[in-house]
Each structure stands twice: as structure tokens, then as C-alpha cells.
Structure 1
Amino acid sequence: MTTRRELRLQREAAERAAREQADAARYQVPDTQAKGTPTPSAYASGVSKATGDQAVPGAPAPVPETQAPEAQAASRRRTGMPSTGRPGYGGGASAPEDTATSADLRGFHLILLDDAVEVSDVLALIHNKLPDLRPALDEHGQMRLSRHSRLSSGVTLDPADAAALEVPEWARHAIVIDCPRDRQPTPPPDWFADSDGLHEAFPNGMPDREEERMLSLMLSVASRLHTGVRLADESGLPTRVIIPDPEAKVDLYIYSSYWMEPPVALDFVRRHAPHAFQQALPTPDEDVLAQASIDDPLFDPSAPVVLDGYALLVPLGEIDETAGSLEIRVMEAEWVPPIIAAHTDAPQIEYHVHWMDTESKRYQPNQRRRFRRMRSQVARLTDAIGAELLVGSAGIGLDENGFLVTSRQLRS
């Protein structure tokens, strides 16, 4: 049976292939026309050497001889942005005609929904992250997210609206987020790469403070629902639509009031990873023990060690040589997520199932197919181990985005 996610991936692949084919056709210039292409010096004078005509003010600049049309189309495809006539894209195609709805929405960040997702699904997920907020809209169809930000139920998008906003064809509804524009004063460094591509969407300065919190919330919701986010239009920047990779967040967090001793937790883990083992505990040398005895006369070096945390390791070499390992970190939680704190005051033990590949690539964007395939296998193992720990500890599970998960969801 084909799952909803598989249908979505197939649809996105088909849309991407169609867009690339259209780009190639749009920027293909016949040989007879290419021979008459003016030289770069002609652009400076505003006169075409081929025809002698004056350049028309505001018209698209001709393609220089030094860069073939095919190369221009390819460079646009590498940015992940659709080729349109809007500022920042280049090309001679005109932008889709605005509609009344698209004109009203351009100045806001939008959560895009497809036919299978309801506004109530978004509100329920926001309640996971912000449990103090009631997951319902007020009489004005709005929900206040913070002192400075609010959510609106938004509008239904017809095909003309979607085309004008340059969002994927599956987008049928847009939820509006009205929040401040807070930016860092300097561009992100060259070495920085955000897993969702925010460093490319905000080349002049990453979102900061309130806007960063709201965009983080929006992207986590879109990731969980397999949808996307359209960023508000800004002068000098192209249309920016971010489709988070829903498989990129692998880690699991389990919170429980019960402490499981290492052999007990290891038994649960070994049901799916027989080669798992406990990381060796550090042992103090004799000088440290002697000094401790001097500092504390009641100190007994022969007394058993009382653990306040430990780690279990699962090597993943059987999946792939670059898969790295899973580490199950167990300790008393220093910080408890709001959705957990809202339901209990008891101290919580955190069981964190953490994955890191050998090359530390998991948080980088635009992963290759081999890496995604390997990551999918790791995620299945992570979910299986997480389900065992969740049931064994009688705890509450959260995914890496901070949303509640059940053992049944992890085992499906």
C-alpha cells in the first residue's frame, strides 16, 4: 500500500522534473539568435551591436556571451528556486498575475497546508510546543502565540492564488503568522548551513529573537505535517518557499519519573540491537581517592558508585560504514519541555536516543540519495528502540521537533 508520504515524494519529484524541463526550454536560445547576441560592452552603451537599436529601459538584460543560456538555467536550478520574472530570479518570463488573496498574503509568513491537513492539526501541534495556549481560535479566527505574534486561520488557496504566490500545486490553504521582523546584523558565515536552508533564504542576516522563534515553530509544524512554509516577500529577494525534510530529525526524547538501571535499559535496547553495550564508566585513580578521603572523613572509597547518568552505545556499521552510532543518554533532566512540565511536577529522567553519523552530515541540507537511504534505516532502528524504552519506563515520548509521540506511532 502506498503511503501518503510516498505519494507526496512522488508528486514533488514529478513537479521538480517538470519545472526543470520548463526552465531548460525557457532559456534555450536558437543558434541563429545566439549569433546576434550583443557583447558585454554593448550593455554599457545601451546599444546592440547586432541591430544598432537602443536598449529599452527596464527590459531584461540580454544573456552575455560568456555564459550560455543552459548554464544560466542550471545555476538557477541549483538554488532550489523556481525560475520566474520576479526580482532576484532573472529571466524574461513575466511573473504570475497577482490575485486579491495573494496580494494580501505577500507580507506575511505562511504555513502551507494540503487537502489532508486541517487547521486544527496545526493548532494541536502548537499546543504541544506551547501548552499554555488553548488550541482553538478566538472569535476573530486568530490565536495569540506571544506578546508580539499571532496566528490567523488564513484562507483557502485556489490555483490562481497558488500560482501568484509561487507555492507548490498541492498547497490548498495558507495559515498566516504575523510576527516582528528581527534579523541578525551580519550575514551568516560561509561555513554555516542550516538544515532547512534558512541561510540561503536570509543571506543578509538570519532571523533573530521573536522571528526566529516563530519560524522555528512554523518549520517544525511543517516538518511534522509534511507540508511547507512560504516566507514573506522582501525587497531584493526572490520568492522563498521552504519544504522541510520530514526525515531529517531522527532523535527521540523520553521523559519518565522512573530510573532504569543500565542492565535493564540495555535489555530493552538489545531487543533490536543485540550488539549494544554500556559505555565504560570513568574510574578515579588512587590519588583522587586519597584526596577525597582527606577532604571528607566520611568518604568510603570501597562504597558502590551511585550513578547519576550513563550511556548505552549501538554501533551502526552493519547499516553503513558512515552511519556512526546511536547513543542512549540517560540522566536526570536539567530542563523539562513545557508539555511535560504541564502534566507533572515530579523530577524527570531523560532517555535521549541520539544519532550522529561518522562525518557529522546529518544536519546539512540537500543530502544525497545514499545518505537518505541510510538515514531511513537508522530512523527505523531509533524508533524501535525508543518504543521499547517508552513502554519500559512508562514515560512520555517527544520527537526531535518537540512533538508528542506514542509507542504505537514509533512501531508503525
Structure 2
Amino acid sequence: MTSAQPVFPPLPVHDPELRTRHLLALPFGIGADELEVLAVSRFPAAAWETLPGVPQQRLGGGRGARNAGASIGVLRVSRTSTLTGPYSVTTGSAVSLGLPAATTTVYDVRCPHDRGGPPYPGGDRDGLKRAFADAMPVREEERVLLWLVAVARRLGGAIRTGERGVVLRPDLDATIDLTVFTDKWLEPDELLAVVQHVVPRARLAIEGVPWRGPASDAGRQAIAGLAELGVPEPGGAGLRKALERHGVKDERRRRHLAAEADAFDGQVLSEPVVQEGYGALVDLGVDGMIAVEVGGEQTLPPLLRGLPWAVGGALAYRVRWEPTEVEELELERPSFAHRVARGRAMPHVQAIARELHSAVGGEIADASEFLVNPGDL
């Protein structure tokens, strides 16, 4: 017989101070261990100071022993910020706070109230500009709130923000981009084969622009550059005077410098071009485009930094969706047409990332740098 889920203390909804702090609301089935992983994914030193779920007492009865109550925990994400919980919450209590009716657990977030100026114009995908119309969070509070939004988006939860009580319910599918981090390099034709296995119409995006000769004003630009060096007029006389001012007076010395320059140019031109990055594109028509970008990355998600293959950085295979109306990516509630296009593009993004992971190994991360199990794609 399996034991019943621990019953946590109820959220103190009548505490006036509670309504001045941020709250993280989560649906049923989200364990404390899952929240801890997401905390460490953004704040490497995050850890439980007090573990939640420790039984407070046990009751007997005809149906056997069961947990009557369990302690709440304290998860420290930084020196000045903690999450206390989980607290249990009824549907009525959740609705009274403006939280989704499906909320079953709530974490009380304690962090500094660091505020700056009013929000800048522009998109508000996370809803923070709406919640903090007078003064935007900065420094520690901004870092914590951005993480809370990312957690709520990942887990299907919500955030109640501080004094005004504005509730944010991040769209689960607002960011569908994925990145495969690995130490294995694929040549362009190898990458194309991987992507075309998922979407046959994919093509490489490494073609250069043909050189059509020097710009029409190249001569004027060269003369201006010589003038900045102190050359009063173009030609040998002016250049000779400039070199003399820089200590090069001997004609043999000038010929030696010219020969060295020619030799250096020849060596550079003879060496093969080392490719450090390239990409592939998938045209989705009215649904936009998927771009697969390949390149080195030094700043890795915290959970990858201790892995042996990622010590000196890693290769990143970024799979990004670009809609036809790019500005809609930054809207908290984009149009129906955008959501339809995103829903049709998502399976392609996930399938490409999954296929890339099969080819190069490593780890998959979402747009919030939370790791993703390939089996969940």
C-alpha cells in the first residue's frame, strides 16, 4: 500500500504581509525536488535550508497509518532571497488571491524590493511591465522574478506579484526555441542531412554574397584614411613623408616592410578558411521559418558548467522559430494566427532538436536554460 501524499499547512491568506510579497502558484503533482532542480538551473548555489515534507505527526485508524501533516521548507536561491513552502491552498483561497483555480500549492517568495524607473516602451512577453507599470524591478528582484516567470511557464503555474497583486500566467508555449549543447562538431553537409531527415526542404545558410568590386567611394575613403595618418596628398611622395614621420626613412627599409607585408598576405590567403559557425533554414511558408544556428558558446547553463566535456565551453546547435510577424514574439498575449503558426512549427523544432541530440549527444536546453529530457519532446 502506498502512503498518502503529505498534507502541508494551509497558506495564511489572511496575513496582510503575505499580500505584499510575490507568490509562486503551482498545480497538482509538482514536487519540491523538481523546483530545486529549476532553482539550481538559474542559481547554482540554491539549496534547501529546511526540507519540506517531513511528517509532523502520524494518525492511526481503520485505514492504516497516514500522514496528518507535513512541514514546509525553505529554499534559498540567493543570499537575500528564499521560497517558503509548499503551502496547501483550496480552490476558494486561490481564487480569492486571483490565482488559477487549479492551484494546489503556493510558495511564499521573500526577496528585496529593488525598483528602478518606469518600463521602457516595447514588448512585454512576461507581463512584468503590466505588473510594475510605475517602477520596474531591478537587480536581485528582477533576477528572482524572471526566474519565477520561467518556472511558472515550465510548470504551468502562475505568479502573484507583490503589492498590486497582479497575477501573471505565462504561456506554456511562448518560447519554443531549443538548444543542443555538445562537444561534437558536424560539418555543414552532415548537419543538413540530420535536419533534412526531419524536414526534407531544409537548406544550408552559408552562401556568401558575391564580390562586385570595390565600393564607388573606395578611393575617397582611402584618401581620407591617409589624411588621418598625416599624408597630405595621395601617391608616393605623400606616403614617403608619412613613413619618415614614423621613423622609416631608409628606402631599403621601406622595401623590406613592403616585402614582409606581401609575404604575410600570401600566407593568410594560402591557409584554408577555418569555419567557426554556419546555419540551416527551413521555410515554413505562412508559419515563418526555422533557423538552425551552429557555433561555439562559452557561457553555458549552470548545470552544464561542471561537466568534463563542457569545461572549456561547448558547441551550441540553436533551433529557433521566427514567425512572419517577429514583434509578436514579445507580446504577452499574441494573436490567434501567431499561436496557430507556433503550434504548427513546434513539432518541427522539437523533432530537429531531438534528431540533433541523437547525432551529437550532449544536453538539450529550452529558452530559459532549463534542461529538457529528449524523451519529453
**TM-score category, normalised to shorter length:** 0.7 to 0.9
Is 1:404 aligned to 2:368, yes or no?
A: no
Alignment of 1:287-366 (within 5 A): 294=262, 296-297=264-265, 299-317=267-285, 322-344=286-308, 345-360=311-326, 361-366=328-333
Q: Contact (CA 8 Å) 1:293, 1:299: kept in 2 or not?
A: no
Structure 2 counterpart of 1:272: 198
Secondary structure of the residue aligned to 1:145 is: strand
Alignment of 1:8-407 (within 5 A): 101-134=14-47, 137-138=50-51, 141-185=73-117, 187-189=118-120, 191-234=121-164, 239-282=165-208, 294=262, 296-297=264-265, 299-317=267-285, 322-344=286-308, 345-360=311-326, 361-407=328-374
The structure richer in strand per residue is: 2
Deviation at 1:267, TM superposition (A): 0.6
Structure 2 counterpart of 1:77: none
Deviation at 1:223, TM superposition (A): 0.5
Q: Residue type of the partner of 2:303?
A: I
Secondary structure of the residue aligned to 1:195 is: coil
Q: Contact (CA 8 Å) 2:298, 2:312: kept in 1 or not?
A: no
Secondary structure of the residue aligned to 2:278 is: strand
Q: Which has the higher contact order (CA 8 A, sep 6+)?
A: 2
Secondary structure of the residue aligned to 2:269 is: coil
Q: 1:293 to 1:123 in 2, by over 3 A?
A: same
Task: List runs of 5+ in structure 2 lacking aligned partners.
Answer: 1-10, 53-71, 215-258
* CA displacement 1:53-80 (0-9 Å, x = unmatched): xxxxxxxxxxxxxxxxxxxxxxxxxxxx
Structure 2 Cα separation of the partners of residues 179 and 231 of structure 1? 12
Q: 1:282 to 1:135 in 2, by over 3 A?
A: farther
- Matched residues, percent identical? 29
Q: Contact (CA 8 Å) 2:47, 2:77: kept in 1 or not?
A: no
Structure 2 Cα separation of the partners of residues 368 and 315 of structure 1? 21
Task: List runs of 5+ in structure 1 lacking aligned partners.
Answer: 1-97
RMSD between aligned residues: 2.8
Q: TM-score, normalised by structure 2?
A: 0.73
Structure 2 Cα separation of the partners of residues 179 and 385 of structure 1? 39
Q: TM-score, normalised by structure 1?
A: 0.67
Deviation at 1:340, TM superposition (A): 1.0
Q: Contact (CA 8 Å) 1:194, 1:364: kept in 2 or not?
A: yes
Structure 2 counterpart of 1:29: none
Q: Residue type of the partner of 2:162?
A: A
Q: Residue type of the partner of 1:114?
A: P
Q: Residue type of the partner of 1:391?
A: S
Structure 1 Cα separation of the partners of residues 158 and 300 of structure 2? 28
